[in-house]
Copies of this chain bind each other. A is one copy, B any other.
Amino acid sequence: MFTDDQKLTEKQKGILAAATELFAEKGYAATSTSEIAKKAGVAEGTIFRHYKTKKELLLSVVSPVMVKVLAPIIKRDLNKVLDQEFETYQEFIRAMIENRIEFVQSNLPLIRILIQELPFHSDLKEQFIEHIGKEVLGRFRQIVKHYQAKGQIIDMHPDTIIRMTGASILSYIVPRYVLIPEANWNDEEEIDRIIHILSTGIATG
């Protein structure tokens, strides 16, 4: 996760890796800095040389997700859409899922931590809303309107469309990577199904 970040020393990478694993497993509040130190193979004091407080360590663990996972969604994919690279909304969604899925998978612990801790840290929450709630949502609204204007998706409040799209994706991601990753998953087929239902619904004829 942090292995390719060249600005970090070996010790720092170890600390971040240990913290990530423990925060994901036990939660931030229930993880002690001494545990992190032991797992990282450093002295406890070393943690505090690099991160002034335990909270700062949490932010250092979690903020890359915001930057690395979410920023690309905004910048790359949105431009592709407006550059007409995707004929349909469905293609756009499929590309987004496929493109990001591996990334999400390898950063899953970070994302889990982010989601789990979000309700308890108002600063994290604000940072998140600032980055995601406003920017990402805004861009997605544009995209939805773009395809509505093209007559490809129904004329409904964009937020509802977005929520349903997001929920559909999560209906695959969460069981696939969080709840029962050990099951046999045929990724391509599952994505097909989701997009199919999202497009034409579950009702017959």
Q: Which residues of A contact B (CB under 8 A)?
A: 25-27, 29-30, 89-90, 112, 116, 119-120, 151-154, 156-157, 160-161, 163-168, 170-172, 175, 190, 193-194, 197-204
Contact = CB atoms under 8 A, between A and B. Distances in A.
Contacts of A90: 203
Nearest to A170: B167
B160 A193 contact: yes
A50 to B, nearest CB: 15
A167 B171 contact: yes
Contacts of A152: 203-204
Given A120-B26, A200-B201, A171 B166 contact: yes
Contacts of A30: 29, 120
Contact of A202 (B26, B154, B170, B171): B154
Contacts of A197: 154, 156, 160-161, 164, 198, 201
Contacts of A154: 197, 202-204
Closest 5 CB pairs of A and B: A167-B171, A29-B29, A167-B167, A201-B201, A29-B30
Contacts of A172: 163
